[in-house]
Amino acid sequence: MSLLHKNNESYLPKRRRRFNFKNWRRNWYKFSRNPLPVLGLVLVILIILLAILAPWVAPYPQHAGKFINLKERFQPPSAAHWCGTDAMGRDILSRILFGYRISLLLGIVVLSISVPIGLTFGLLGGYYKDTFVETVCMRITDIFLAVPPLILAMAVASVLKPSLQNSMLAISLMWWPWYSRLIYGVVSGVRNEFFVQSAEVIGASRLHILLRELLPQTISPLFTKITLDMGFAILVGASLSFVGLGAQPPTPDLGTMVSEGSKFLPEQWWMSVFPALAIVLVVLAFNFVGDGLRDLFSLEQV
């Protein structure tokens, strides 16, 4: 009698949707045990909303582009201009909100490029450990890692015309090897576990093993790193534009704003300080969320 002989008499229940509701509650509990991740999450959501709605929320949306009003230049923070005005008379708060758009866009683009590349290299390098494939993947990774990151980004950005797009490209180039390393670490550790060998013995294709068995193991460190990296990518982008290699004026970019405003320190302090605080805020917010995610994915029994 075959093991798989269909039992015609028994009533087999129809397919049920997996309810994850209980899981969501428990995950939230783990995430929110510390107040900081919750605060971070609130801030992140707030910043994203502000950035999306900037054209409607900013008090002076037209100041975000070409605009000159020399009568209003160098105004300190006031009721009309919460963060003051800059050398061109543009409202700094509005420019900050539009600057968030650029920063978040940069973060998303950089991660969208570097994560898939790093994932591929890391997955292949980790699975094909001790073979030629691993050597190729990981040595290429090492080459990119060996160059000091900011220098690499600057070199690329200065070879190409300085612009937002090119700075995003440059940052992606120096960002992906960290993902490669991370994924490689996870995958090469898990690669010899029994469930992977089971899949091999059963006869699963290599593609299946890579995507369905190994990749899910990387989800938790991957998402934690992605969240933390949003903040850091924004910071690197700001650093690049601080030295003039990122978005060009009149585009409102937080790093450029800090750079321009630094010439006028300390009298017109608001021109540098507020954009800098804006950077700090978004980086911190993502950091807190990343911490919370790390707690969430930890295996400890609550």
Binding site for other proteins (CB under 8 A): 1-7, 10, 12-13, 15-16, 18, 26, 29, 193-206, 208, 212-213, 216-217, 219, 301-302
Nearest approach, Cβ of residue 112 and other proteins (Å)? 23
Q: Are 170 and 152 in contact (CB under 8 A)?
A: yes
Nearest approach, Cβ of residue 192 and other proteins (Å)? 9
Nearest approach, Cβ of residue 42 and other proteins (Å)? 23
203 or 266: whose CB is closer to other proteins?
203
Helix (H) or strand (E) holding 284: helix 270-297
Nearest approach, Cβ of residue 198 and other proteins (Å)? 6
Nearest approach, Cβ of residue 263 and other proteins (Å)? 53
Name the residue type at position 94. Answer: S
Look up residue 129 and give its two tokens: 């450990």
146 or 299: whose CB is closer to other proteins?
299
Report the distance separating Cα 286 and Cα 280, nearest Å: 10
Which positions ≥6 away from 89 have C-beta within 8 Å? 67, 68, 69, 70, 71, 72, 73, 75
Look up residue 161 and give its two tokens: 């015309």
12 or 146: whose CB is closer to other proteins?
12
Radius of gyration over every alpha carbon of the chain, rounded to an integer in angstroms: 24
Nearest approach, Cβ of residue 294 and other proteins (Å)? 17
7 or 56: whose CB is closer to other proteins?
7
In the block, which residue shows the tokens 């910071």?
Answer: 235
Beta bridge partners, 91, equal 85
224 or 256: whose CB is closer to other proteins?
224
266 or 301: whose CB is closer to other proteins?
301
Report the distance separating Cα 222 and Cα 111, nearest Å: 11
Which positions ≥6 away from 193 have C-beta within 8 Å? none
Q: Reply yes or no: is the peptide bond before residue 250 cis, omega within 30 of 0.
A: yes
